[in-house]
Chains A and B, each alone.
Chain A
Amino acid sequence: MNRHDLKTIIYAEKTKEENNKYRHKICVCCGASCISSGSEEVMKKLQEEIKTRGLENEVEVVPTGCMGPCNQGPLMKFLPEYNIYQKIDCSNISAIVQSQLTEKKPIEDLLLFADSREKPFLDAQEDPFFKKQMKIALRNCGHINPERIEDYLVHNGYQALDKVLFEMSPEEVIAEIKQSRLRGRGGAGYPTGFKWETVYKYVSDQKYVICNGDEGDPGAFMDRSVLEGNPHRVLEGMAIAGYAVGASKGYAYIRGEYPLAIKRFELAIKQARKMGLLGNNILGTSFSFDIEVRIGAGAFVCGEETALIASIEGKRGTPRPRPPFPAESGLWGKPTLINNVESFAAISPIINNGGEWYSEIGTPKSAGTKVFALAGKIKYSGLIEVPMGTTLREIVFDIGGGMQNDADFKAAQTGGPSGGCIPAEHLDVKMDYESLVSLGSIMGSGGLIIMDKSSDMVDVARYFMEFCMDESCGKCVPCRVGTRMMHDLLQKICDNKGTQIDLNRLEELAVYVKETSLCGLGGSAPNPLLSTLRHFRQEYENRIVKHD
């Protein structure tokens, strides 16, 4: 397929959409979380209901990716009214359809958050949960059918790829990404444009692009939702990256625990190949690029780039010392670009709207938006996307609706096992890379777990240390032995048997492990311990056996 054919298809699809024969569109959330709550059954019942009423020609039923408020699932959205129904019980479907489509008014008692707000918002976009958000990476998640490439094409899909192939040189693409000030969304926050430029500069007969979808942090499901809800966006981002750095082959490394994400991404690859958007001579140009999926086999350390590369090569996923960085010598010794799923998802809007547009969102040092997986003891948990610099208070109390059972907020855990806990006195912290580091935590990939006073912070530190101990690959001593020693000491304190000497030793060990470990896993393993010690030291002191 060449450029002209693509334009014809998009035009045809758009005309179809504009002369929409359907008066209504009903979206049913088919993200993994809603499926677990029974959305496939809802989808089936809804289709039957529409058929019984003879409305097939007026109502379009679309299975979509994640809509956001995951603990309220299964979710169903009526467009254009934007009425969202929560916790759908199949026995209510008939009544909902009757009320929405025949009587033209929503059933308020069944709307989103009806059971927890005084009055639900009829137009869900007005609800603080959505109103405070800004969706760029998640833009079409929850609106389009992730299993149809045509749905993506209608919503400006592959326009950015078309633009770079016909109107921009690789240097210009890199300049645009640099201007956007996008930083790696996997956690470390390295400027994406510079990474692309480094790979671009190395001369090699073969280069690779890798998409890191090994979302290992417990309590994080951003990448999963993006891959499930809009796989083509990630695919397009990878292809643009391939063009910019001069790679012809890409790998998407996706966690084995995410079967639905794998299925949808593989389907997306197949569809894109069929349309000539992947493969040889994309859109009739000289640029060729193809993508293969690699399934992770459950090792947290594989989120580390050199370990991930080893895993793609079919080996044990152990990291190696850097330099050389993958940009110079990565997969099979060739220059390799590795970016996170969410970073790739941000690429096509940047190309379409310009780097300047993106750089103006967020804070001066952290541009753009960030997706968070909000969970724990909070009223409305789920997937959210906010501009960088939004305060933690806004996320917890405006978007998240406050604490569950109106308990007191105790701490927010960010960054998973590599991050730390933010106490109540810092609720007004801006969520950006630097502010979180200054509090002893990190942005991480975006897991955000809210805790109330029922969480024992010493045990939280022990929990994460146990995780790192189990996940340590064993290659370097500080991490292999250090995490075990720290875990045992934390266990001792949890059992009320620890002494001041143990606490001192813990602090000493934390510094050794942090500074001497080979990779980021060991290097950041002490973070939860150090941050709880910093903000909740009293809880440790209270546990310690005092000798008179």
Chain B
Amino acid sequence: MKSGTAVHTKELSKTDPRVKLIAAKMKKENYKPDALIEILHTAQNAYGYLPKEVLAYITKALHLPPSRVYSTVTFYHFFSLKSKGEHTCLVCTGTACYVKGAQAILNEIEKKLGLKAGQVSADDKLGVQVARCIGACGLAPAVVLDDEVQAKVSPDEIIKKINIKIGTV
């Protein structure tokens, strides 16, 4: 989405329920540009990430320059321009988790699964991410596996759980 050049993207299907969801949200927000972040939240929840064509669609509907949308998307950690993987493993690296060994968990994941934070496996099965703090400090070290918080986990345990998720065991 470089500024100055036309954006060539696939047309979105108007009957796609995800598109309908975004359309409804934009209508509810009255197409106000200041609701951009709210609308991006809706889109990311629907798709799991923000595909280019979806951004183009939102850009057009809100009458915003593409640069404004792109700069907002890339500013916030929550938004992602590429798929986060079918299953996600989110390792909390907040202070309490850091003190209790979050790095050891990340090291083990890298050693056993060959994935660093921010990477997605080649088959798109698993994505590994880090969170600044999920606010579950009493449960440190914590890992969120597909929206489910795994409390007080050891590196070994989490590898086992991941393997069960991605079906390699």
Contact = CB atoms under 8 A, between A and B. Distances in A.
Interface residues of B, number: 38
Given A314-B33, A413-B95, A221 B136 contact: yes
Contact of B136 (A32, A317, A377, A455): A32
Contacts of B149: 36
Contacts of A221: 133, 135-137
A376 B135 contact: no
Nearest to A228: B135
A315 interface: yes
Nearest to A257: B134
A449 B38 CA distance: 33
Contact of A314 (B35, B96, B132, B133): B35
B99 A451 contact: yes
A373 B97 CA distance: 13
Contacts of A218: 93-96, 98, 132-133
A70 B139 contact: yes
B96 A297 contact: no
A295 B36 CA distance: 11
Interface string A374-385: 011100011000
A258 B135 contact: yes
Nearest to B32: A314
B18 to A, nearest CB: 19
B168 interface: no
Contact of A298 (B77, B137, B142): B77
B75 A317 contact: yes
A375 B135 contact: no
A421 to B, nearest CB: 11
B13 interface: no
A112 to B, nearest CB: 14
A71 interface: yes
B32 to A, nearest CB: 8
B100 interface: yes
Contacts of B140: 375-376, 381
Given A376-B95, A381-B137, A467 B41 contact: no
Given A218-B133, A299-B77, A71 B138 contact: yes
B79 interface: yes
Interface centre among B93, B94, B95, B131 (most CB of A within 10 A): B95
B158 to A, nearest CB: 15
Contacts of A455: 99
Interface residues of A, number: 50
A482 interface: no
B100 A376 contact: yes
A382 B34 contact: no
A217 B133 contact: yes
A463 B133 CA distance: 13
A6 B24 CA distance: 35
Interface string A487-519: 000000000000000000000000000000000
Contacts of A295: 37-38, 41
A37 B151 contact: yes
Nearest to B135: A221
A interface secondary structure, majority: loop
A224 interface: yes
B78 interface: yes
A539 interface: no
A355 interface: no
Give the most central of A73, A299, A375, A449: most B CB within 10 Å: A375
B77 A313 contact: no
Interface in B80-125: 93-96, 98-100
B162 interface: no
B134 to A, nearest CB: 6
Given A256-B41, A298-B76, A312 B136 contact: no
B71 interface: yes
A300 interface: yes
B37 A373 contact: no
Contacts of A317: 75-76
Contact of A467 (B35, B68, B132): B132
Given A317-B75, A467-B132, A375 B37 contact: no
Nearest to A466: B93
A381 B96 contact: yes
B78 A298 contact: yes
A416 interface: yes
B15 to A, nearest CB: 28
Contact of A377 (B100, B135, B142, B151): B100
A36 B77 contact: no
A216 B62 CA distance: 29
A375 B98 CA distance: 11
Interface string B35-70: 111101100000000000000000000000000100
B98 A463 contact: yes
B72 interface: yes
Interface string A335-365: 0000000000000000000000000000000
A305 interface: no
Contacts of A373: 137
A369 interface: no
Given A219-B96, A314-B37, A317-B75, 8 more contacts: A71-B138, A220-B133, A220-B137, A295-B41, A297-B77, A376-B137, A377-B100, A449-B95
16 contacts: A36-B136, A69-B138, A70-B136, A70-B139, A73-B139, A219-B96, A219-B133, A256-B78, A297-B41, A314-B36, A315-B36, A317-B75, A376-B96, A377-B99, A463-B98, A471-B132
Interface of A: 32-33, 36-37, 69-71, 73, 215-221, 224, 256-258, 294-300, 311-318, 373, 375-377, 381-382, 413, 416, 447, 449, 451, 455, 463, 467, 471, 473
Nearest 3 CB-CB pairings of A with B: A70-B138, A219-B95, A218-B94
